[in-house]
Amino acid sequence: MATILVTGGCGFIGSHLCVALLARGDRVRVLDDLSTGSESNLAPGASLMIGDVARPDTVRQAMVGVDAVFHLAAVASVERGVQDPYGTHCVNLSATVAVLDAARHQGAPVVYASSAAVYGDATDLPLADTTATRPLSAYGADKLGCEQHARVAGHTHGVRTAGLRFFNVYGPRQDPRSPYSGVISIFCDRLAAGREVVVFGDGGQTRDFVYVGDVVRRLLAALPAASTAAPVFNVCTGQPTSVLQLAQTIAALCGQDARIRYDTPRAGEIRDSLGRPSPIAGLAEAPPVTL
Ligand code: NAD
Ligand code: UD2
């Protein structure tokens, strides 16, 4: 039985990952400060250490006796990075350096969350994992920094890592109440309650939405793929969906016509985001993850 540390295991993606790890027989330890996550998300059977992943001593303590690490804790909001670039940098990049350093001493591989935000407004769609990165936000710059530190940790200290560039993840436990929540959670919440949805711009903008169960399956497959070469993988579907299509589909599933209010486009946002999914060795044989 392996002991796995999941940072951010009380959050949206991390909590589903913990359930899947426990289901396959692993022992799971969570490090989370409950800033956006919730103790009610803690997978039954997992142990919780409440603490800040940006504190190296806390990370070292959390990693004692651990066989592998999934590092998902972050301030997962581009907007928060705009408001507080230094504060979010400490969590989104410095903490990753602390995780990589503790993993070096522990000899544990690290699978960590990167983001499609590393591509910025690159327009050569679909974005391959080899496409040039040029982040436009502090959040994206910090995620790219995680990838570069992972490469350095592999090269200099022999730390095995794999980075997953998540596109727009959706699914159960995504909190619809923040204005920066994923659009699917917001639309589901409002349309199920018979309320109107707000579409920013003309609704023709597209995203590559990927289900959290498929994300967890890729996280699990990435662990044996972790290496000192620090590979990075796109986690996406390769299918574009417009915001308008989304509103209409969710409304139809709720048995109603979508009531849409159009508002001004979000400042600085990209029009289209579409990835080319990266092959991960062993993924084809990995069983589906049921949530
Ligand atoms: P989330 O906010 O639900 O989960 C993040 C978790 O990290 C929360 O439980 C939070 O309490 C915890 N956390 C935050 N700061 C911490 C700190 N200083 N110390 C300890 N714990 C801390 O977000 P999520 O959507 O589950 O995102 C998980 C990871 O995936 C993040 O790294 C995020 O940047 C990345 N990501 C998510 C998406 C998406 O579409 N949801 C897209 C790209 C990348
Ligand atoms: C996603 C990530 C973000 C960052 C970014 C990088 C999520 C939740 N956010 O932002 O963290 O990685 O990608 O590019 O995954 N919209 C509406 N009405 C609403 C809410 C949203 O029209 O009520 C639109 C919004 O203007 C955008 C699209 O829906 O065009 C998707 O919005 P989002 O906030 O879910 O995700 P995104 O792609 O802006």
**Could you give the ipTM of this predicted complex?**
0.96
CB-CB contact of 206 with 240 (8 Å): yes
Measured in angstroms, how far is the CA atom of residue 255 from the centroid of ligand 2?
25
pLDDT of residue 179: 67
CA distance 6 to 17: 8
Give the pair of three-digit tokens for residue 14: 């991390």
* Identity at 271, one-letter amino acid code: R
- Over 70: is that where the pLDDT of 143 sits? yes
- CATH class, range 175-207+239-263: alpha beta
Identify the CA nearest to 209 among candidates 172, 237, 251.
Answer: 237
Residue 119 beta carbon below 6 angstroms from any ligand 1 atom: no
- CATH class, range 3-167+210-235: alpha beta
In the residue annotation, 139 being an active-site residue is answered as: yes
Residues β-bridged to residue 31: 7, 49
129 band by pLDDT with thresholds 50, 70 and 90: very high
178 band by pLDDT with thresholds 50, 70 and 90: confident
The backbone torsions φ and ψ at residue 215, rounded to the nearest 5 degrees and listed phi first, read -65, -45
Closest atom of ligand 2 to 203 CA is 22
Give the pair of three-digit tokens for residue 201: 């711009």
CB-CB contact of 197 with 247 (8 Å): yes
Residue extent(s) of CATH 3.40.50.720 domains in the chain: 3-167+210-235
Residue extent(s) of CATH 3.90.25.10 domains in the chain: 175-207+239-263
- Over 80: is that where the pLDDT of 65 sits? yes
- Over 90: is that where the pLDDT of 253 sits? yes
What is the mean predicted confidence (pLDDT) over 249-277? 93
- Over 90: is that where the pLDDT of 289 sits? no
* Identity at 169, one-letter amino acid code: V
Residue 192 beta carbon below 6 angstroms from any ligand 2 atom: no
* Identity at 234, one-letter amino acid code: N
- Over 90: is that where the pLDDT of 78 sits? no
CA distance 62 to 53: 9
β-strands 161-166, 27-32 pairing: unpaired
Identify the CA nearest to 127 among candidates 240, 274, 279.
Answer: 274
